[in-house]
Chain A
Amino acid sequence: MAEIRLERVRKTFGRVVAVRDVDLTVADGEFLVLLGPSGCGKTTTLRCIAGLERVDTGRIFIGGRDVTELPPARRDIAMVFQSYAVFPHMTVAQNIGFGLRMRRIPKHEIQAAVQEAAKLLQIDNLLDRYPAHLSGGQRQRVAVARAIVMKPEVLLMDEPLSNLDALLRLQMRAELKRLHREIGATTVYVTHDQVEALSLGDRIAVMREGAIVQLDHPNTVYDWPATTFVASFIGTPPMNLLRATVNTSGDDLALAIGDFTMPVSPAWKPSLRAMVGKRVVVGIRAENISVHADATPGSLPATVLVSEPLGAQQLLTVQVGEDMLKVVTAPEPPFQAGQTVGLTLATEKLRLFDEESGKALSIGANLSTQGGEHR
């Protein structure tokens, strides 16, 4: 049973606040991804959990035990580093067995455990090699094997895939997911790659400037970003953001994007009623926009700037007023640059944000878990 709990953890380097009073609970056996751009404090948060950084204030609990003042060795954690940190003066077998040797486990048991871990990561044929004779991907596997052989309660990974080439990364990603299912250790995984985060995480904590902006299941983070920052960070391509004004048309509320006016779905009305005349940001994912070759009535007129065929689909960059949108559509019919098209936005997929704060507006029905806050 190893739940990780951070209570108002703060870490500063000189005048820079790297982690800003973060509260976070990772359930036992959960795979939590810390996601954010570089410098957002995700790695520092991880290093605080590992005990490689001393927190300024706040407490850290692992399995209900206060480990805030404990050195890494006594936290029952294992960590995989971005640079792998495989010991160059030891063979693969010695590397994997290092932690067990520190625990003074009998030799034959170490050997068996090393074999098992190596087999799990398919490096059992490399045990006598030195790291200098391994490829990046193999070193990566040694680093992971070295961590899981400890059978830790908590597994911490700091961008473990970022130094691999694209193909290998894809393969290792699936393997890490399988591994997590097999060993079941509570895992905290740091990455700046949102695809990795979406594919691996049970939950994702999106961080920015040392704070957690949103903590939710991958689909919720993708579908209901808590802020415009999250919206523009997650997804390939990220969510389109359009400036709009809240209007009244007769008795009803409407959104005005340039000269184009579109109706508002009833769910939004409670939170928009107070915002008549104010500006909001409309968010919509590229796959929730449909494109028509002719500007049919009721559709948003746009001009195609770039058309990129991507095999199974085509990615269009279109201009609406001053804003640029990305649209994903079927490969046929092909659109040409310069072509005028009509866009239809899937109303139920619209997301609205306050322009000033960037925070998501709440929807009337309890469809969404509320963003902007974290547990």
Chain B
Amino acid sequence: MTFPRLQRRILLCMAAVVIALWVLMPLILIALAAFTPRLELYRWPKPIIPSTFSTGTMSFFLHSHGVLPSLRNSVVVALLTLGMTLVVGAPAGYAVVRYRFRGREAFRLGILMTRMFPTSLLAIPLIVKFIHWGLYDTLIGVALMHTAIALPFAVIITSGVFSGVPKELEEAAMTLGCSRLGAFVRVALPLALPGLAAAAMFTFVISWNEVFAAAILTVRNRTLPAHVLVSLEGAPLDFRFAGAFFMIIPAVIFMALARRYLFQMWGGAIAER
């Protein structure tokens, strides 16, 4: 079935609008509700656009019991995850691109395969092991789990980043007096930095948003999503909206900043194959 050009364009635009609304509507509604005065939230019919802009709901949320400590936990866990993921993931991504080694393709596939393994299946053995190792209910324990989750993404993204840095540049640096490592530090790394920053933000967001592992691996030291999840049941409406909005912010900021790089490297990675 063929459509004339114009018709195809119109259909495409409509599809784009539908998808955009599908994604944006909840975000917008949550954002609006988060800044609606508390009382107005309970009124019926509830106005979509708040009559006054209020930070009351947000401050109520932030001052609720346990929110600030869990926020601190979230930041600590995300930073730990970020550090560990990049330290392991970036060299792995580099190796996948630069070195020919036995089983390279299998390794690449293996990275993706880890994503197919359901985390929930791991839950019980993981808790047992973590208790055994003394990692249960610790931030480093959650960070380790988050690193395991984020690592495949980090390897794939960083390999995309490094494949965008021509090998000849490093070779040129080596013929000009650099060691292998020196060439990496002076040439590949500076050129990959923007992409690596995007990978770092992505990792941060993964950890920030992760709820399942964080909820099962902690009791008192909950991260924010875990805390919100647990307290959601008995929480008032405004708490839910404010919590949801708070969780969304980092992801939105990340997307705004990293959009260009993500397109670039994923486009590049596809073209490479």
Which residues of A come within 8 Å of B, CB atoms?
50-52, 71-73, 77-79, 81-83, 85, 87-89, 98-99, 102-103, 143, 146, 150, 156
Contact = CB atoms under 8 A, between A and B. Distances in A.
Residue among A51, A73, A77, A156 with most chain B CB within 10 A: A73
A71 B179 contact: yes
A103 B168 CA distance: 20
Contact of A88 (B171, B175, B191): B191
Interface residues of B, number: 17
B216 interface: no
Contacts of B176: 73, 78, 98-99, 102, 146, 150
B104 to A, nearest CB: 13
B166 interface: yes
B175 A73 contact: yes
Nearest to A75: B175
A81 B172 contact: yes
Given A72-B174, A79-B172, A102-B178, A87 B187 contact: yes
The listed residue with most A CB atoms (<10 A of its CB), out of B168, B169, B177, is B177
B173 interface: yes
Contact of A73 (B169, B179, B191): B179
A89 B166 CA distance: 13
Contacts of B182: 102
B166 A85 contact: yes
14 contacts: A52-B171, A52-B174, A71-B174, A71-B180, A73-B176, A78-B176, A81-B172, A85-B166, A85-B172, A87-B172, A89-B191, A98-B176, A99-B177, A102-B177
B236 interface: no
B190 interface: yes
Contacts of A150: 176
A269 B175 CA distance: 53
A146 B42 CA distance: 71
B103 to A, nearest CB: 14
A50 B175 contact: yes
Contacts of A50: 171, 175
Nearest to A81: B168
Contact of A72 (B168, B169, B175, B187): B175
B190 A89 contact: yes
A52 B190 contact: no
Contacts of B179: 71, 73
